[in-house]
Amino acid sequence: MDYISTRDNNNIVSSSFAIAHGISKEGGLFLPKEAPKLTEDDFNIMRKLSYVDRAKYVFKYFLTDFSDEEITNCVKGAYIGTFDNDLPAPISKLGDNMNILELWHGPTCAFKDLALQILPYLLTTSAKKISNGKKSVILVATSGDTGKAALEGFKDVEGTEMVVFYPENGVSDMQKLQMASQEGSNVHVCAIKGNFDDAQTAVKKIFTDNEFKKILADNNMEFSSANSINWGRLCPQIVYYISAYLDMLNSGENLENGFNVCVPTGNFGNILAAYYAKMMGVPIKKLICASNRNKVLTDFINTGIYNKNRDFYLTSSPSMDILISSNLERLLYILAEGDDKYISSIQEELSSCGKYTVKEEIKNKIQNEFYGGFCDDSETSDTIKKIFDDFGYLIDTHTAVAVNVYNKYISETGDNKPTLIASTASPYKFAGSVLEALGQNQNADKFEVLDELSKLTSTDIPSPIAKLKNAKVRFKNVYSKDDMYDAVKSSLGLM
């Protein structure tokens, strides 16, 4: 399996190179030259397998320069003994057609764990193949969940240093505490004065800064990424959509006419993974892209115009407070049938003007595959209460956005196919907002809020969150977005 760049498809690399480097030298994103195709026999074999063995089965198609032993070591290290009951992605059925894919049973209680528990294994295995002993410097911009999941995955991993940037006022109290108290001698956490897009844009600039790369090379280091721009993040997400399809079949779900997938979407990686699963043969029909008030993706799907020149809102679903969805570039490359010059041109427009308009034929392809919808915080809150009242089931703010948009989709289209809804975080990561949605006032102390939510709903506080009560804050630095270069140098001891 060869990998190519969205902005230069003559740049052909191995999976190890794509994972170790994270981003192409000209700023493009790596993706497989083609999507592998799974047969009916493949699905029948995998139906009988555990999640671990399904992951191994799928990875062999994508990581062709990894040995079977290397893939086994990566998968077992990531998924055995790490998730509740060794079930990384269980499904809860609500009503006739709503299947909630619970992606928050890992060590940080968010869907990023499914990818970021295995990425350190993939990255270190890749680096040994191509990096000649250089230390990997991993830069991460996060809107909340990626940061903690990456920190937890990479803490004390030999041969790596990690620097995480998050918007000072753009994450929940629990997300902030999770990151600021992170243990590990090789991890560094920095708040910035700005939003997630500011952090992500600066990280991309640092990645492609030749002078900075030379400084690292002189110190036997090189950049890599744990953000969803890294293919090593996206590939494990494909696994859980394939596995969910098999679990739905095994549960007796009637999928003769296929099923829909609904994903609360910010950076587009999670829903892109579902699109890859579809290209590989999973009978997904409509991909429902759910946004909060920062509805740049909803508008893009409906108009073909991507425009980040708009007001930015802090919402109760902060991990989706994003105006630049990096992984959309991969989808557009696929729909443009590999026209790298076209992708380069529209990304340049986005960088210089803050917007672009895709060709009519690409817009039509997007609308054929995707539905875009959004809801505001009030609707999010109402949805949390309704789901709890109707089913006794507790969801977080991001999952509520997905459920709300899913219901809007049904109202607009009448399409009642079975639907898989990605539940991306534990409700306890956003306990204050969830408690308010259930009609209770937030207590000033975030840990009392957890106790109140647990008592009210008769649900258990996840142990990774409960343990934060006694966590010691290690990282308190706040930088302007213009000082992020210095923050990286300082974290790495280069100044």
Catalytic residues: 112
Packed helices 231-250 and 119-130: angle between N→C axes, nearest 10 degrees = 140
* 263 vs 336: CA distance, rounded Å: 23
Q: Please state, as a whole number, how many other Cβ atoms lie within 10 Å of the Cβ of residue 222.
A: 19
User: For 472, which DSSP code?
Assistant: P
In contact, 466 and 450? CB cutoff 8 Å: yes
The answer to whether 362 and 336 have CB atoms below 8 angstroms apart is yes
Please state, in angstroms and rounded to a whole number, the distance separating the CA atoms of residues 47 and 211. 50
Strands 3-5 and 8-13: antiparallel
Nearest to 282 by CA among 21, 116, 25, 47: 47
Distance, in Å, from the CA atom of 8 to the CA atom of 363, rounded to the nearest integer, reads 22
> CA 228, CA 376: separation in Å to the nearest integer?
25
DSSP count for the chain of H helices, then E strands: 22, 16
β-sheet bridge partners, residue 357: 305
Element (H, E) at 244: helix 231-250
Long-range contacts, 443-448 (Cβ 8 Å, 24+): 446/173, 446/174, 446/177
CB 431 within 8 A of CB 461: no
DSSP string covering 195-222: -HHHHHHHHHHHHT-HHHHHHHHHTTEE
For Cα atoms 478, 482, 486, give the angle at the middle one, nearest 5 degrees: 70
Answer yes or no: are the C-beta atoms of 421 and 100 closer than 8 Å: yes
User: Distance (Å, rounded) from C-alpha 11 to C-alpha 318?
Assistant: 36
Look-up of token digits 């909803």: 298
Judge whether 465 and 426 are in contact, CB under 8 Å. Answer: yes
